[in-house]
Structure 1
Amino acid sequence: MKKYFELNKPYQFDPTDLTAIIFTLCSVLGIATSINITPLFLLGSIIGFATCFKARRINLIALNGSLLILNLVNFIKMF
């Protein structure tokens, strides 16, 4: 398991780490409070979409593109 998740190497920051932190924060805040977390979800979606191209996986581009569009629509509906 350590080898699979590369836990035997020194930590290297990746932009997807930031997206994971933002989405985790969104989940916790969305469940624990009544705060509208749509802008935070939109920020995470933008970062996720911008960084998914380096993986060169069509499924990641489709997933992150869909999340971005959905979050953008929800953000626009806020106003």
Structure 2
Amino acid sequence: MSDDPAEPGTFPRIPCDAFVGGTSGGPMLVPWFGGWAVVGVIGGYHTGGNTSQVSYSAVFGPATRALYRDATTGAAPAGPSS
């Protein structure tokens, strides 16, 4: 569970016994209208899960969408919030 009140909920996770070295940092994708949506980033053992069979991701929410939008449109990103 997230303890950030701005981003409540559970962390996305992928149960998989077959991830190989170098998978960490890759996108967690789900089918989306006409393509795919990135919903997270695959974590690695210990930093992304308590076992090698399950990877967790940080929650991608409104702040992630805003950063992506700014990066893809060339806008200057907002500074840190207080």
Give the TM-score normalised by the residue count of structure 1: 0.27
- Indicate the structure with greater helix content: 1
